[in-house]
């Protein structure tokens, strides 16, 4: 039996309202949980001791909207020029997802998870698509997640863009994986019911998906008003806006995640607030696709829980956090606005989102929470306390290096070296081989 882990000599940061900063405390990890956070004397002979001198101790980061399958487009340059977001989808992503195999899905996930360990991200809420290989695709992702020791909530994005048969397969894949997770409780794996977006879902499919998801008593995960076209299409074809349509079909609830919400209006915000639905902001993706910047300050003022995702642009959550702050400054033409609202998306709200999915607290350093811990090199050049903490995270720690990553009490990286039973070089070589074939099949 492995010894419990004792982390000592680090500066402990536990997010909350307000966040806590503890010095001269120790964190004890046992059986996948944080057993104790204490300043008392501890006999170190009973523990596997990690000396965190010169480091900050944080909970593992949470990415609330991700696409593992996008890994293998890094460096890809065969796409047609795109003038708008719809053309980005049509020229790149909807061509890529059609040529994904179960093997490429698996390897793209492993590569992304290895990078995540290096950046201290231990939990993902993923959204998957591989329309020519729907059935079993979530189980390939789950296999990679288990092997890498991290946590993920998975779903398959149901869409009518590839026809009724594939849409039906997507509903079946969601149902099968949700039932698997319910029948095989595992704190590494959770499930939501995935939907692509309103503009690729007809009423028949949306109704069938809603019926299945609600019968299974799970929330949904859907792109919402990422570009203005989603709203224009919905009004033109259904006589209502996107959030109104999702509400009419029983999609919205406290367990449902809506990614982006760049173009929702105030009335839609009220619906999201009333239903307790979750919004996940993905600023770098939105800026990259030139679709706009979501008004997350107004959303939070209306009581909407707004988290932070990356939409696969990065696995570095502190990088995404910084981008979110600059984006809000630009949107509001105010370099002083939204500091804590943005800070909270990652450092507080993502943990509140996972509270609705996982059975144990994530994103906190407190007794009984998951033993998901990150150690980052940081010798503060200015006073570090609870008042200055947020500024240090955004302007200082975000530029620092992750030294150690622990998930579920298992040390996945220590002293900047991976501890996985995985040959990273071999994985990368296999990934390059698969990518060459994938790119050659891209038309």
Residue-wise pLDDT for 399-436, tens only, equals: 999 999 999 999 999 999 999 999 999 999 999 999 99
In a domain, 427, yes or no: no
Amino acid 75: pLDDT: 87
pLDDT of residue 17 exceeding 90, the answer is no
Residues 256 and 381 in one domain: no
In a domain, 31, yes or no: yes
In a domain, 310, yes or no: yes
**Mean pLDDT confidence for 331-350:** 97
Residues 179 and 283 in one domain: yes
Last residue of a domain, one of 302, 333, 355: 355
Amino acid 406: pLDDT: 98
In a domain, 317, yes or no: yes
Domain limits for position 105: 61-355
Question: Per-residue confidence at 441, pLDDT binned at 50, 70, 90?
Answer: confident
**Mean pLDDT confidence for 293-303:** 98
Residues 389 and 282 in one domain: no
**Mean pLDDT confidence for 282-295:** 97
Residues 161 and 43 in one domain: no
In a domain, 332, yes or no: yes
In a domain, 423, yes or no: no
In a domain, 294, yes or no: yes
**Mean pLDDT confidence for 55-80:** 93
**Mean pLDDT confidence for 119-136:** 97
**Mean pLDDT confidence for 366-382:** 97
Residue-wise pLDDT for 91-120, tens only, equals: 889 898 999 999 999 999 999 999 999 999
Residues 335 and 274 in one domain: yes
Instruction: Report which of residues 443 and 229 the model is more confident about.
Output: 229
Residues 183 and 85 in one domain: yes
Amino acid 78: pLDDT: 78
Amino acid 409: pLDDT: 97
Residue-wise pLDDT for 190-220, tens only, equals: 999 999 999 999 999 999 999 999 999 999 9
For residue 168, the domain's CATH number is 3.20.20.140
- C-alpha 368/C-alpha 443 separation (Å) is 51
**Mean pLDDT confidence for 323-342:** 97
> In this prediction, what percent of the chain has a pLDDT beyond 90?
90
In a domain, 102, yes or no: yes
pLDDT of residue 69 exceeding 90, the answer is yes
Residues 371 and 273 in one domain: no
Amino acid 79: pLDDT: 83
Residues 342 and 382 in one domain: no
For residue 22, the domain's CATH number is 2.30.40.10
Total tally of structural domains belonging to the chain: 2
Residues 347 and 380 in one domain: no
Amino acid 19: pLDDT: 86
**Mean pLDDT confidence for 272-288:** 98
Residues 80 and 94 in one domain: yes
> In this prediction, what percent of the chain has a pLDDT beyond 70?
100
**Mean pLDDT confidence for 129-146:** 97
Residues 128 and 45 in one domain: no
Mean confidence (pLDDT) of the chain: 96
Question: Per-residue confidence at 1, pLDDT binned at 50, 70, 90?
Answer: low
Which of 13-17, 21-25, 55-59, 178-182 is predicted with the least confidence, judged by mean pLDDT?
Answer: 13-17
Residues 186 and 260 in one domain: yes
**Mean pLDDT confidence for 326-345:** 97
């Amino acid at each position: 039996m492995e010894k419990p882990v004792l982390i000592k000599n680090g500066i402990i940061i536990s997010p909350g309202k307000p966040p806590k900063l503890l010095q001269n405390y120790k964190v004890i990890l046992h059986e996948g949980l944080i057993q104790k956070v204490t300043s008392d004397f501890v006999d170190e002979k009973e523990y596997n001791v990690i000396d965190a001198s010169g480091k900050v101790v944080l909970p593992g980061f949470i990415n609330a909207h991700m696409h593992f399958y996008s890994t293998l487009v890094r460096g890809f340059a065969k796409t047609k020029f795109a003038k708008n977001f719809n053309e980005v989808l049509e020229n790149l992503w909807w061509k890529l997802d059609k040529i994904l195999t179960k093997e490429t899905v698996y390897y793209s996930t492993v590569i992304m998870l290895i990078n995540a360990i290096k950046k201290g991200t231990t939990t993902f809420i993923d959204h998957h698509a591989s329309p020519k290989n729907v059935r079993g695709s979530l189980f390939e992702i789950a296999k990679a997640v288990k092997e890498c020791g991290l946590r993920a909530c998975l779903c398959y994005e149901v869409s009518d863009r590839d026809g009724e048969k594939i849409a039906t397969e997507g509903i079946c894949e969601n149902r099968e994986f949700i039932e698997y997770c319910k029948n095989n409780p595992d704190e590494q794996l959770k499930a939501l019911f995935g939907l692509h977006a309103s503009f690729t879902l007809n009423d028949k499919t949306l109704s069938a998906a809603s019926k299945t998801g609600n019968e299974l008593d799970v929330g949904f995960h859907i792109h919402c008003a990422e570009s203005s076209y989603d709203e224009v299409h919905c009004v033109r074809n259904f006589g209502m806006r996107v959030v109104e349509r999702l509400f009419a079909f029983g999609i919205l609830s406290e367990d449902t995640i809506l990614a982006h919400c760049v173009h929702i209006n105030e009335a839609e915000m009220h619906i999201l607030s009333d239903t307790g639905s979750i919004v996940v902001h993905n600023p770098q993706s939105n800026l990259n696709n030139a679709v706009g910047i979501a008004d997350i300050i107004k959303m939070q003022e209306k009581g909407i829980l707004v988290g932070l995702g990356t939409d696969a642009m990065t696995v570095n959550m502190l990088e995404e956090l910084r981008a979110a702050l600059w984006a809000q400054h630009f949107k509001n033409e105010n370099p002083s606005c939204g500091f804590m609202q943005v800070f909270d998306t990652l450092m507080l709200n993502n943990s509140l989102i996972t509270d609705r999915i996982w059975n144990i607290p994530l994103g906190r350093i407190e007794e009984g929470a998951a033993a998901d811990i990150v150690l980052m090199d940081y010798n503060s050049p200015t006073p570090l306390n609870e008042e200055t903490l947020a500024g240090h995270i955004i302007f200082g720690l975000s530029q620092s290096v992750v030294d150690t990553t622990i998930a579920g009490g298992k040390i996945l990286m220590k002293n900047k070296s991976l501890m996985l039973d995985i040959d990273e070089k071999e994985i990368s070589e296999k990934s390059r081989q698969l990518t060459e074939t994938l790119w050659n099949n891209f038309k």
